[in-house]
Amino acid sequence: MTDPGRNYLSWKIWAVYAALFGISIPWYWPVEDARTLGGFPLWVVVSILGSAAISVFTAWLFLRCWPADEEDEAA
């Protein structure tokens, strides 16, 4: 049973995911924007960095909040 004090699906976690997905999807990027960074359009770089941030955040959640099995706690 999970600890009621630790909510693994809290609104804060969903808010971070929503913000990171909002950054990662280039729907807000102007069509006429021709800036580049490292030979890539800037929207591509921002999208890749946003996707990497989603992956890092997910890994951090798994490492920090993953509930331990009862057998592991007894050992």
Domain ranges of the chain: 11-28+36-66
Please give the mean pLDDT across all residues of the chain.
Answer: 83
The model's pTM is: 0.74
Name the residue among 22, 12, 20 with its Cα closest to residue 57.
Answer: 20
User: What does the block give as tokens for 19?
Assistant: 């913000």
pLDDT at 8: 64
Nearest to 54 by CA among 17, 22, 29: 17
The CA-to-CA distance between both ends of the chain, in Å, stands at 18
pLDDT at 36 > cutoff 50 = yes
pLDDT at residue 52 greater than cutoff 70: yes
Rounded CA Rg of the chain: 18
